[in-house]
Amino acid sequence: MSTNLLTQAMLKDLHYDITNVCKQIETFESSDKATTVMVLFEHSDINAAVYHMSKTIEDPESFRCGAIATVLIEECIKDIFKQKLQNVLKTRKLADNNNASFVKAVENLKRLKANTINFNNDNGPIAIMVDDFCHEHLGSYVNGIITLHAFRTNKECIALIKKESLEFACATIWHENHSYAYDLIAALTCKLFYINCFRINLSPLKSKSPTSESYVTMDERYHYETFVSNGVLKSIIFPIGTIFAN
């Protein structure tokens, strides 16, 4: 695991402009149901991934614009990830989730006797992370429900993502070695991929023609590229200076 990890102290003052990024995602994907799958490997910045996951849970309304609805996590760090996430959210003020579908899903999970983590505020649960169930088992896509699956290999990870009933518009993939991420990018049908980041400014992508088959551009912090893979035009964003291959 990387020793050069972000700490919660480093992240606590980071400005997270959900409203602005939501508008960009909705424009880029032309959908108010654009959901994201997170893939987290052992050799990754767990603290940063936990931070982004916590921002999804913090306000269930953010689910309308590309929030993380499913998490695939390498088996050996599953418990660490869950514990860190719970610790972070203990200190957060969590918004109510009064969505009728969420209330129904909570009852379904009780009947299924699912293994869950409930994220509560003073008025009750506002989000639930559920182990080893797909969204289709819980009805239609529900704000506040995050499914969690553990994997051991890339092949297993890809198979688990494809089992989900949601069509993910975005993926955020966390690994020190980009070659692992590109294996997933080749296999998945998402159109937008973040590597070791999430909810980054999409303006450099939007400034290019959507019919362009491939291009590369950068700003002061991030690398952007677009290319066609298996007939799908895919866009990738990652921080400049991160490791491409070992």
Residue 230 lies in a domain: yes
The pLDDT score that the predictor gives to residue 16 is 42
CA 201 to the chain's CA centroid = 16
- Residue 245 maps to a domain: no
Classify residue 70: in a domain, yes or no.
yes
Q: With CA atoms as reference, report the closest residue to 65 among 203, 169, 206.
A: 169
Question: Is residue 246 in some structural domain?
Answer: no
Average confidence (pLDDT) over 130-137: 88
Q: Is the pLDDT of residue 222 over 90?
A: yes
Query: CB 8: neighbour CB atoms within 10 A?
Result: 14
CATH number reported for the structural domain that contains residue 183 in this entry = 3.40.309.10
Residue 1 within a domain? no
CB 48 within 8 A of CB 196: yes
Structural domain range at position 40 = 8-239
Average pLDDT, the chain: 81
Question: Would residue 2 count as lying in a domain?
Answer: no
CA–CA distances in Å: residue 13 to residues 9, 10, 222: 8, 7, 20
Q: How confident is the model at residue 205 (pLDDT cuts 50, 70, 90)?
A: confident
- How far is the C-alpha of 227 from the C-alpha of 216, rounded, in Å? 9
The string of pLDDT tens digits covering residues 42-97 is 999 999 999 999 988 887 665 656 789 999 999 999 999 999 999 999 878 888 88
Total number of domains constituting the chain = 1
In a domain, 137, yes or no: yes
**Residue 140 covered by a domain:** yes
CA pair distance 35, 43, nearest whole angstrom: 25
User: Which residue, among 125, 133, 120, has the nearest Cα to 89 in the 3D structure?
Assistant: 120
Q: Is the full-model pTM beyond 0.75?
A: yes
CA-to-CA distance for 167 and 140, rounded, in angstroms? Answer: 12
Q: What is the mean pLDDT of residues 160-164?
A: 93
Q: How far is CA 28 from CA 80, 129, 210, in A?
A: 34, 27, 10
* For range 20-25, the mean pLDDT: 48
Burial of 80 (0-12, 13-18, 19+ CB in 10 A): middle
